[in-house]
Amino acid sequence: MLANTKKILANAYKHNYAVGHFNINNMEIVQGIVQAASKLNAPIILATSEGAIKYAGIKYLYNLTLTASEESKIPIALHLDHGKDINIIKEAINIGYSSVMIDASHEEFEKNIQLTKKIVQLAHKKGISVEAELGTIGGVEDLVSARKIIYTDPEKAKEFVDRTGCDFLAVAIGTSHGAYKFEGKAKLRIDLLKEIKRITKIPLVLHGASGVPKDIIRTAEKYGANLSGVKGVPDSQIKMAINNGINKINTDTDIRIAFDAAVRKVIFKKPKEFDPRHILNPVRELVSKVVEKRIRLFGSVNKA
C-alpha cells in the first residue's frame, strides 16, 4: 500500500526534519531511490510531473511505485508534482495517488485560490492531501516554467492557506528549477521563510532544491557533457531552510545529472557495450548514492 503523504509530513513538521520528494520517470530511477531510502530507513515521496506521466504513462508510474512500496519496509508515498491540467489531477486522484500538487502559482491571487480550493475539495473527498504554491519559483523544465522569481508574501500565504484548506504549501524563497539556479552567490530568503512558518502552521515545501553536486558534474563533463555555469543550492542553505520550517524537499535535477553521468561513463569506457542492463545498472547505483546523501542532509534517516 502507498503511504499517506499527510502523515509522513506531519511527523516531519513535529520533529523539524524534511522528507525527500524525488522525481521519477522510469524503473531504474525508482529502484535507485528506494534502495537508498531502504538502507537509511527513511520515508520518501516519489513524484511524477505531468511531463513524466506523458513520457511513461500514469499506470506504469503508479504501478512501479506500488510495487516498490510493497517490496520495501519504508513508507513510500506517490505525489503528483506541479499539477496544472485538471484532467491529469483528476486521473491521479482516481488512480490512488497519495497526494497531488495544484500549481496555479502563475495565476493571480484570487484565481489561484479558486483553482486550489476546487482541487482541495475533490482530493479531500478521497482522503488525498494537496500541495499548493504561492509565489513563483524560477527556472525552466520540460512542462514547468517560470523565469522570474516572485517571493512568497507571508501575509498572503496565511490568507491563502486559510481560504484554500491546502495541506502543504510550496514557497518561493529564491530557488529555481533546473541546474542553473544562481548567477551570483546562492542566497535563500530565510527571513521570509521564518515568517511564513510562524503564521501558516502547515508543512512547507522547497522546490528547485537540487544541490547539483560537483563530483557528479565533473564525471559527466569528463565523459563529454557540457554543463558550464551550473549551480545548485548549497547544503548549508538546505540545512538552514530545514531549521526554519521546510518539511518537504523536491529533487529532480540531481537525479537527472546522476543518470547522465553514469550513462556517459559506461558507454565511453565500454564502447562495445550495448546491453541496456549493463548500461543502466550503474545509473541505478549512482542515483542511489546521490539520494543517500540527500536523505542524510534532510535529517530523515531512521524516521520510517
Please give the residue ranges that form the binding site for ligand 13P (CB under 6 A). 23, 81-82, 177-178, 207-210, 250-253
Give the number of C-alpha atoms closer than 13 A to the C-alpha of residue 246, restricted to the C-beta side: 33
Binding residues with Zn ion: total (CB under 5 A) = 1
Under a CB-based contact definition with an 8 Å cutoff, are residues 244 and 197 in contact?
yes
Count of residues making up the chain: 304
Under a CB-based contact definition with an 8 Å cutoff, are residues 119 and 80 in contact?
no
Taking the complex as a whole, the smallest distance from the CB of residue 207 to ligand 13P amounts, in Å, to: 3
Taking the complex as a whole, the smallest distance from the CB of residue 38 to ligand G3H amounts, in Å, to: 24
Task: Answer with the entry of Zn ion, ligand 13P, ligand G3H, none that 142 interacts with (C-beta below 5 to 8 A by kind).
Answer: ligand G3H
Nearer CB in complex with ligand G3H: 38/250: 250
Active site residues: 81
Nearer CB in complex with ligand G3H: 238/304: 238
Q: Is the dihedral of CA 71, 205, 208, 42 positive or negative?
A: negative
Under a CB-based contact definition with an 8 Å cutoff, are residues 148 and 193 in contact?
no
Nearer CB in complex with ligand 13P: 295/302: 295
**Binder among 181, 189, 197, 207 for Zn ion (CB under 5 A):** 207
**Binder among 63, 111, 126, 143 for ligand G3H (CB under 6 A):** 143
Q: C-alpha grid cell for residue 108?
A: 493571480
Q: 205 in helix, strand or coil? A: strand
80 is a site residue for ligand G3H (CB under 6 A): no
Under a CB-based contact definition with an 8 Å cutoff, are residues 50 and 61 in contact?
no
21 is a site residue for Zn ion (CB under 5 A): no
131 is a site residue for ligand G3H (CB under 6 A): no
**Binder among 24, 52, 123, 246 for ligand G3H (CB under 6 A):** 52
Using the rule CB under 6 A, give the single segment among 69-77, 121-129, 135-143, 186-194 that binds ligand G3H.
Answer: 135-143
Q: Which residue lies nearest ligand G3H, judged by its C-beta?
A: 142
Cα-flanking dihedrals φ and ψ of residue 301, to 5°?
A: -65, 135
Taking the complex as a whole, the smallest distance from the CB of residue 25 to Zn ion amounts, in Å, to: 14
Helices (H), the chain: 5-15, 27-40, 50-56, 58-71, 86-95, 109-125, 154-164, 190-200, 214-222, 235-243, 253-269, 276-298
Interacting residues with ligand G3H (CB under 6 A): 23, 49, 51-52, 81-82, 141-144, 177, 207, 252
